[in-house]
């Protein structure tokens, strides 16, 4: 209870301690993205005559799409932006 000059005020004090799970994001987002980027750059080291160049490119593209679906499932939804279909 705080006492002022003429009135008395009640106060409630809350403390909230939050902590991020850094290793979760490193293992599930940053490391796979880094590895896929390395594989994309490795594609330029293959000779042009090699058929594996196209195979590697398509495999990395497929991996990026699966990775983005995985991220979309694991990230929390926000209600800040309402899509036009939902209006």
Residue 33 · residue 63 · CB < 8 Å: no
Instruction: Kindly list the domain boundaries of the chain, sorted by start residue.
Output: 20-63
pLDDT exceeds cutoff 80 at 58:
yes
**Structure pTM?**
0.60
> Taking a C-beta distance cutoff of 8 angstroms, is the pair 75, 61 a contact?
no
pLDDT, tens digit, for every residue of 2-14?
565 666 667 888 8
Within the chain, what is the greatest distance between any pair of CA atoms? 88
Backbone φ and ψ of 2, nearest 5°: -100, 135
Three-state secondary-structure class, residue 4: coil
């Amino acid at each position: 209870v705080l006492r002022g000059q003429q009135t008395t005020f009640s106060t409630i004090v809350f403390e909230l301690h939050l902590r991020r799970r850094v290793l979760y994001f490193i293992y599930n987002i940053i490391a796979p993205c880094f590895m896929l980027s390395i594989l994309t750059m490795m594609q330029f080291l293959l000779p042009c005559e090699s058929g594996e160049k196209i195979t590697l490119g398509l495999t990395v593209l497929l991996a990026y799409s699966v990775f983005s679906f995985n991220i979309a499932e694991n990230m929390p939804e926000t209600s800040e932006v309402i899509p036009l279909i939902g209006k």
